């Protein structure tokens, strides 16, 4: 058996303090959005001094960007959408998108991002990237049906609206459909925007 | 010629003060959203005492609801969508929705509503109503293709996502397309949700 760790009585070192701050701010930003989260609350939740947060991250904007980055930069939809029968491309995109949002480790970060998009330009940029250049544009470019930017933008508008209604304002019946029902509801529309003549 | 109005030197009466407050708050809520607008700023912009605002409207929530009500309660889409050739139903809905958002007297109020939906439940409820029971549900019910609530919800998710991308986060290319181009981009999708088998 491993020996129990000793509590040294020393303060956490800079690396772990930095991580504590990031973890606390990710959770607070997710719940309250950019505007609704104060540096003082982050300091309190992470058990460090507010001055230390400023020392590490300079500004609330920079901290938000770092804390939220993981939520929207890890997804590569290209293989899961492009591989497979061409007539089910839209269904695969809808499923990949919804599966990603349903992940308990991902959803709070994405909701926090949506919540903040109205008050913090950095969050709006992140959503534009998430829906555009970073995630959907590579899909439409790889599919090769032309007008890749417009296609990414249109399918992004459908998926964004779906996410807002299901996860943010929780509008019925979309909010309580099973994930696979949501996928089938929007699969044809995704197929249209990705593949068919616009 | 009408005689120029005399300035009486008296303070504005209760009715006009009330209207001044509503006008100022509509404009401030539209720009800054619910969370970003203080009662003090509204008092300053309308030139009245903050206590008078509380006297008239009791709370910021109640004031927001009253100030924004006009922006989303006046639209009746049923005649403009239902009348006409059945295969262009979706196009008519898209045109009616976009035309409404493009109106200079309407757009700021709707943007303010979107901005506030993340921080104020009253705004989220207003959007749910705008997209559901109040505006889209009567359309799908009148069209009579069944599943009227699900159809309203799905077409609402597309239109909401479009509005967020075009008017709120201003994502390209949707933000700068001409209104009629936007209509044609989403017409088939609206047609699908309104009329076709889901």
Q: How confident is the model at residue A1 (pLDDT cuts 50, 70, 90)?
A: very low
Rounded Cα–Cα distance for residues A96 and A77 (Å): 7
What the block records as the tokens of B4 is: 């120029």
Total structural domains in chain A?
2
Interface of A with B in 140-169 (CB under 8 A): 149-150, 153-154, 156-162, 164-165, 168-169
Q: Among B126, B71, B123, B73, which residue's Cα sits nearest to residue B101? A: B71
Is pLDDT at A94 greater than 90 in this prediction?
yes
- Angle (CA) A69-A71-A73 rounded to 5° is 60
Same domain assignment for residues A89 and A24? no
Contacts of B157 in chain A (CB under 8 A): 158, 161-162, 164-165, 174, 186
The Cα A186–Cα A158 span in angstroms is: 8
Residue B105 has a CB neighbour count (10 Å cut-off) of 8
**Along chain B (198 residues), what's the average pLDDT of each consecutive run of 10 residues?**
46 75 88 86 94 91 80 74 96 95 86 78 78 85 95 95 92 94 98 96
- pLDDT of res. A167: 93
Contact A90, A1 (CB under 8 A): no
User: Quick check: is A4 in a domain?
Assistant: no
- Show residues of chain A in contact with B188, CB under 8 Å: 192
Nearest to B30 by CA among B170, B168, B175: B168
- DSSP string of A108-142, one letter each residue: HHHHHHHHHTTT-HHHHHHHHHHHTTTTHHHHHHH
Residue A142 domain-assigned (yes or no): yes
Higher pLDDT, residue A176 or B115: A176
Residue A6 resides in a domain: no
* Gap between the Cα atoms of A159 and A189, Å rounded: 10
- A64 shares its domain with A91: no
Report the residue from A153, A170, A189 with minimal CB separation from B171: A153
Give the DSSP letter of residue A30: H
Cβ <8 Å between A156 and B149: no
| C-alpha–C-alpha distance, residues A167 and A169, integer Å | 6
- Interface test with chain B among A152, A153, A167, by most B beta carbons within 10 Å: A153
How far apart are the C-alpha atoms of A173 and A182, rounded to whole Å?
A: 10
Both A134 and A45 in a single domain? Answer: no
Looking at the structure, tell me whether residues A116 and A139 fall in a common domain. Answer: yes
CB of A128 within 8 Å of any CB in chain B? yes
Same domain, B116 and B79: yes
Q: What is the pLDDT of residues A98-153, one digit of tens each?
A: 999 999 888 888 888 888 876 677 778 878 877 777 789 999 999 999 999 999 99
Q: Are residues A91 and A113 in the same domain?
A: yes
Pick from A118, A146, A152 the residue to mutate for testing the B interface (most B CBs within 10 Å): A118
- At which of A70, A91, A114 does a domain end? A70
Q: Identify the CATH number of the domain in which residue A161 sits.
A: 1.10.357.10
**Residue B35 touches partner A, C-beta closer than 8 Å:** yes
CATH number, domain containing residue B60: 1.10.10.60
Contact status of A38 with chain B (Cβ, < 8 Å): no
**How far is Cα A56 from Cα B20, in angstroms, rounded to an integer?**
46
pTM over the 0.95 mark? no
Asked if the ipTM is above 0.85, the reply is no
CB pair distance less than 8 Å for B153 and A172? yes
Q: How many CB atoms lie within 10 A of CB A196?
A: 12
Closest partner residue to B164 among A36, A161, A185, by Cβ? A161
Contacts A–B by Cβ distance under 8 A: 126
B33 and B62 both lie in a single domain:
yes
pLDDT in tens, A4-13: 444 444 455 6
Q: Which residues of B touch A154 (CB under 8 A)?
A: 174, 185-186
A134 in B contact zone (CB under 8 Å): no
User: Is A129 within 8 Å of chain B by CB?
Assistant: no
Residue B2 lies in a domain: no
**How far away is chain A from the Cα of B92, in angstroms, using its nearest Cα?**
17
Task: Tell whether B195 is within 8 A of chain A (Cβ).
Answer: no
CB-CB under 8 Å, A173 with B150: yes
Query: Does residue A56 lie in a domain region?
Result: yes
Name the nearest CA neighbour of A111 among A27, A41, A19: A27
Give me the pLDDT at residue B5, please: 47
Same domain, B78 and B49: no
What is the arithmetic mean of pLDDT over A154-178? 94
Does residue A151 sit within a domain? yes
Regarding whether B145 and B96 lie in a shared domain, the answer is: yes
**Same domain flag for A61 and A89:** no
**Nearest Cα residue in chain B from A176:** B150
Residue at A8 is within a domain: no
Q: Are residues A38 and A25 in the same domain?
A: yes
Residue of B nearest to A32 (CA): B119
Q: Are A176 and B195 in contact (CB under 8 A)?
A: no
pLDDT score recorded for residue A9 = 46
Check if A33 contacts B (Cβ < 8 Å). yes
Q: How confident is the model at residue A191 (pLDDT cuts 50, 70, 90)?
A: very high
User: Is the same domain home to A113 and A176?
Assistant: yes
Domain that holds residue A102: 74-195
Q: Taking the C-alpha atoms of A161, A163, A165 and A170 in order, what is their torsion angle to the nearest 10 degrees? A: -170
């Amino acid at each position: 058996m491993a020996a129990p760790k000793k509590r040294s009585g020393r303060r956490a070192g800079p690396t772990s303090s930095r991580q504590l701050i990031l973890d606390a701010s990710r959770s607070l930003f997710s719940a309250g959005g950019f505007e609704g989260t104060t540096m003082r609350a982050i300091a309190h939740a992470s058990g460090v001094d507010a001055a230390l947060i400023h020392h590490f991250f300079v500004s609330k904007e920079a901290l938000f960007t770092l804390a939220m980055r993981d939520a929207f930069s890890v997804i590569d939809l290209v293989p899961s959408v492009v591989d497979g029968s061409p007539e089910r491309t839209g269904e695969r995109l809808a499923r990949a998108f919804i599966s990603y949002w349903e992940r308990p480790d991902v959803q709070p970060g994405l909701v926090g991002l949506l919540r903040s998009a109205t008050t913090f330009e950095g969050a709006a940029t992140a959503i534009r990237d998430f829906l555009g250049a970073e995630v959907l544009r590579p899909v439409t470019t790889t599919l090769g049906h032309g007008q890749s930017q417009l296609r990414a933008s249109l399918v992004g508008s459908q998926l964004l609206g779906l996410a807002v209604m299901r996860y943010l304002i929780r509008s019925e019946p979309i909010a309580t459909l099973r994930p696979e029902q949501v996928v089938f509801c929007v699969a044809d529309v995704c197929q249209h925007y990705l593949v068919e003549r616009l």
